[in-house]
Amino acid sequence: MTTATRYPATESGHFNASDGVQIQYRVHRPESAHFGVVVVHGFAEHGNRYGHVVDALVPAGAAVLTYDQRGHGQSGGRRVFVTRFDEYLDDLAQVLALAKGKLPQPLFVLGHSMGGLVVLSYALRDRSGVAGWAVSNPALLNRVVVPAWKETLAQVMSSVIPGLSLPSGLPPEHISRDADEVKQYDKDSLNNKNATARWYTEYIGAQKRLIAGAEGLRGLPLLVQIGDGDLIIDPVASQQFAARVGGDALQVHVYAGLYHEIFNEQPADRERVLADLVSWLTARLP
């Protein structure tokens, strides 16, 4: 299921990741595009849920590429599973190479939640060819409490049965205060309700590495958008992380009361969030 957009994809296709997994992508183009944006979605969802983002960016002159991360949406791979978290980063490297051939420059990258974790981790590894980086409620520290038994089981099974799948326990009503968005999320068959043991331990490890490397992002043109009512990812941890990054190239917006999916919040709120994103992007155009 997609979040309705006024600008349907003008191109869609797939490519093979380095290990052969098929990655599905879509491109949304305006009649006259002045810059490009790659959108990296979050945990257990897919790129077609970013219709509101597409609807804000395309009229501003952006060609937008969304894709489904491995094990998500219409892409291949075991559902919500990686052997190494860096597989997501390796895929993003290929997506950026694809985007550089299909989208106009300058090129920006936007990541939400786990997508924000992927984007920022990638920026620590390689920031070349990207004019700016934006993240919304990046998955730096979970606010959803994982029961002790599930935490222990995941740690043990990560090595023994890495593909063991368990319910994520993510309450749909915590994604947004907009009841219609919650209903769409809950009935979307492409949204996975489980996570695997190895995915979980790799995810936690990636969080720790990124937090430890925060200062390495100083000087990166970076926008961080945080809903301080987020019940899924700790908004205080995101603010503390941004403070550690610091520097003049960083811009942080905190939105009072907004839940996890700030781009899928109630209409007036998401329009404000998206307007801030568009303003930040267009201010960086030559």
Beta bridge mates, 64: 28, 37
Q: CA 104 to CA 102: how far, in whole Å?
A: 7
Rounded to 5 degrees, φ, ψ at 205 are -60, -40
CA distance from start to end of the chain: 36
Q: CA 42 to CA 176: how far, in whole Å?
A: 14
The sign of the dihedral angle between the CA atoms of 146, 148, 150, 152 is: positive
Contacts of 231 (CB under 8 A, 6+ apart): 143, 144, 171, 174, 259, 260
Q: Which helix (H) or strand (E) holds 223?
A: strand 222-227
The sign of the dihedral angle between the CA atoms of 25, 4, 73, 262 is: positive
- Residues 19, 22, 24, 25: what is their CA dihedral angle, to the nearest 10 degrees? 50
Calculate Rg over the CA atoms of the chain.
17
Q: Please identify every residue annotated as catalytic.
A: 113, 230, 260
H helix runs in 103-147, sequence order: 114-125
Give the number of other CB atoms < 10 A from CB of residue 90. Answer: 16
Instruction: Classify residue 263 by its DSSP letter.
Output: G
